Amino acid sequence: MTIDQERRRTLKCLAALAGIGLGAAHADCNPRRLGRASGGSTVACARREKIVPSASGMVDSALLASMLGSAVARSVGTASPEEAFRKLFRPTDVVGIKVNTLAGRGLSSRPEVVAQLVTWLGKARIPAERIVIWDRSDRELSAAGFHLNRASSGVRCFGTNDDYEWTPREWGAGASCFAGVLVRELTALINVGVLKDHDLAGISAGMKNLYGVIHNPNKYHDNGCSPYVAHLAAHPLIRDKLRLTVIDGLVAQCHGGPARSPRWSWDFGGVLVSRDPVAVDAVAYKIIEDRRRQQGLRSLVQEGREPKWIAEAAGLGLGESRLGRIEMVKA
Amino acid sequence: MTLDNPQRRVFCAAAGAGAVAVLGSRLSLADDPAQGQMLPTGPGAGLSLVPARWYKAKDAKRIECGLCPRACRVADRERGTCGVRENRDGKYYTLVHSRPCVVHLDPIEKKPFFHVLPGQSALSLAAPGCNLECKFCQNWEIAQVRPEQVPTTDASPGAIVELARHHDAPTIACTYSEPVVWSEYVYDIAAAAKPMGIRTLLVSNGFIQTKPMTELLHVLGAVKIDLKAFTEDFYRNQCRGQLQPVLDTLRLLAKKRTWTEIVVLVIPSLNDSEREIRRLARFVHDEMGPEVPLHLTRFHPSYRLTNVPSTPVKTLDLARHVAMDEGLHFVYVGNVLGHPGNHTYCPGCNLMVIRRLGISVVQSRLDRGRCPSCHRAIPGIWS
């Protein structure tokens, strides 16, 4: 690419950003106001002791709808999850639900959680055809219990596989080709991560899950993924589309991640929901540290795995990382 | 990676169509019915799962990779920085053994090797992946990706050797991407080729630990190292790597008396100062010897480094002058067609002994590896 081409591309990006800003002003979807729309960063945590009976591993769907709905509503400041979704999404949106399926069934974003989100998107008048559930690969999605659907009807569900854009984009400290569906189609994102430990990043909850939208995540795991996680989350393709983060903690894991390790997983029985992607990770970090302490494990700081990228993301204006300034609500 | 670029856009189109590209050569392997069963492929054709040779098992199913100086600590289900080696349940695997994404018949000068069998062809292949992330990578479409993202084909080491024999290629070059990250495949190809009289050439960044490199040298025929620059700053900021391990590799190659050629991609304002070129040349002279060929090649904007202009030819002229002034006998200029620095001159009498046009040999006057005029031995592999 020549310098002139690069300049043209930059101008296009600026124009596109201006367009997004104007469009968003009509709804409460402006990413610049996410999480702090009402003056604070709110993280809603809903826990139900019996949500995942260990013996069966099955989720009580009615209970899930109730607790997740309550968390969504509390995090957005509405009376119901339906109202929250109408506030977050426009009927014209194409909504991507980015799940985390690296660890297979048992420690991935649960299909039941995602199905409930899809239900509310429908109630926000978003047609099924404009909802995409996706992750890195078909193989991982299937292994985590998702049913693939590349048809033109119904909610689509597929892995990026090799469908990345052809030209890399700079994003702060890194450069990557982004998933084609994110670049071409999606106008809004729900990030559904998993409450778990990560051997290099410290934790894998919300923002770390966004590594799954680039073609070369393997390049950015050194130095505890710092500052890469923060820089990636700040890219306009993500920052301007991310409307909600949901952390699936029905079963969580405090050590041995990102793969599943039954020894270190526990029934947290809860979900975290926030419009602030930084605040929700800060809370997830505290939950994992608390559990590690209970289990007699060294802290992530002591292990040299402190997720420094959470504070770095706050420094980039993506949200609030200080627990004292995060409004934690029980749902 | 410099000259060794298989016409990138054309290559990508071919790769995207699911073919293994054979470009710029007099033969079309893809059209060869004898090889047809092995060449066609497509995206998602699969990953191999061959146990890695260089790693240590650690606690809690972690491993520590022992291949490159990064020594990646890799948890279960994760990959190293290269993206082509994966931990599965505490065991480390290479995902690209016998899964090349490019097989190509090139002039050996394209690697570039100027002192190895001039005018002969090299069956050149690559599997995906790299352990550096150079901002100026010229083959990033295969080097900076995970193996799922490019079409690959099944090609066992034996099949690669057979393909080389079929096309009368006296060498097999592991090139284009970074062969270090598929060292198991390189080793097995070289071990299969050696008894057949076929030399295996490694075209690498040299960012590898000593132990695997030493083992590879038992079976390799010659090595070309891309020395990216001569400062740690450059390696850190432009490549996300380190210089020192590369220098260690170069010393090892000299100690093992492996035929080695060195390429430096000269990039304006980043590694083109007279001082840096002089220090680099002095290192080669003092640590490896004056007879090691040094190729100074011209940069063109690529990948992430698009805001730097192409290298002026006069910069290359100056760099060549400086390197020769430091005592190196064979200093070439690459990526500049028709430049006097394309040719090989006898250090004894200055006779042009090999005349080239770009990467084509126009005339060789060598007489059994000697200058026909003064009979000085010209170092290299000539038969």
Say whether residue A2 is in contact with chain B using an 8 A CB cutoff: yes
In which band, very low, low, confident or very high, does the pLDDT at A59 lie, cut at 50, 70 and 90?
Answer: confident
Would the CB atoms of A218 and B75 count as touching at under 8 Å? no
Q: Does A173 touch chain B (CB under 8 A)?
A: no
Arithmetic mean of pLDDT over chain B: 89
Q: Which is it for the CA torsion B316, B319, B325, B330, positive or negative?
A: negative
Predicted confidence at residue A54, as pLDDT, reads 62
CA distance linking residue B48 with residue B185, whole number of Å:
11
What is the rounded distance in angstroms from the CA atom of residue A5 to the CA atom of residue A25? 30
Digit-coded pLDDT (tens) for B323-370: 999 999 999 999 999 999 999 999 999 999 999 998 899 999 999 999
Domain count along chain A: 1
Cα A118 to Cα A126: distance, rounded to the nearest angstrom: 9
Please state, in angstroms and rounded to a whole number, the distance separating the CA atoms of residues A213 and A143.
Answer: 19
| Chain B: closest CA distance from residue A32 (Å) | 29
Enumerate the residues of chain A whose CB falls inside 8 A of the CB of residue B60: 256, 261
What domain range is A191 assigned to? Answer: 3-17+39-330
Residues 276-315 of A with CB under 8 A from B: none
Residue A174 parent element (H or E): strand A174-176
Predicted confidence (pLDDT) at residue A82 exceeds the cutoff of 90: yes
pLDDT in tens, A124-162: 999 999 999 999 999 999 999 999 999 989 999 999 999
Q: CATH topology for B6-14+100-364?
A: TIM Barrel (3.20.20)
Which is nearest to A239 in space by CA: A57, A29, A10?
A29
What is residue B341's predicted lDDT score, i.e. its pLDDT?
A: 97
Task: Identify the contact set of chain B against chain A, taking CB-CB distances under 8 A.
Answer: 43-44, 60-62, 70, 73, 75-83, 133, 135, 140, 144-146, 148-150, 240, 301, 303-304, 306-307
> What is the structure's pLDDT at A116?
97
**What are the residue ranges spanned by the domains of chain B?**
6-14+100-364, 37-94
Closest to B8 measured CA to CA, from B218, B238, B300: B300
Q: Is the distance from CB of B82 to CB of B130 less than 8 angstroms?
A: yes
HEC states along chain B?
CCCCCCCHHHHHHHHHCCCCCCCCCCCCHHHCCCCCCCCCCECCCCCCCEECCCEEECHHHCEEECCCCCCCEECCCCECCCCCEEEECCEEEECCCCCCCEEEEEEHHHCCCCCECCCCEEEEEECCCCCCCCCCCCCHHHHCCCHHHCCECCCCHHHHHHHHHHCCCCEEEECCCCHHHHHHHHHHHHHHHHHHCCEEEEEECCCCCHHHHHHHHCCCCEEEEECCCCCHHHHHHHHCCCCHHHHHHHHHHHHCCCEEEEEEEECCCCCCCHHHHHHHHHHHHHHHCCCCCEEEEECCCECCECCCCCCCHHHHHHHHHHHHHCCCCCEEEECCCCCHHHCEECCCCCCEEEEEECCEEEEECCECCECCCCCCECCCECC
Q: Answer yes or no: is A26 within a domain.
A: no
The two three-digit tokens of residue B317, written as one number:
């002229």
| CB distance A308 to A226 below 8 Å | yes
pLDDT, one tens digit per residue, over A246-255 is: 999 999 999 9
Residue-level pLDDT at A171: 94
- The whole-model pTM stands at 0.85
Confidence category of residue A55, pLDDT binned at 50, 70, 90? low
- Judge contact between A248 and A195, C-beta under 8 A: yes
Which tens digit of pLDDT belongs to each residue from A304-322?
999 999 999 999 999 999 9
- CA nearest neighbour of B249 among B178, B330, B323: B178
Find tokens 């078909």 and name the residue.
A138
Whether the CB of A219 is below 8 Å from some CB of chain B: the reply is: yes
Q: Tell me which residue in A1, A5, A215 faces B145 most closely, judged by beta carbons.
A: A215
CB contact under 8 A, B307 and A256: no
Give me the CATH number covering residue A166: 3.40.50
Per CB-CB distance under 8 Å, the chain B contacts of A216 are 83, 144-146
Any idea which residue has 């139900």 for tokens?
Answer: A48
Query: A83 φ, ψ to 5°?
Result: -65, -40
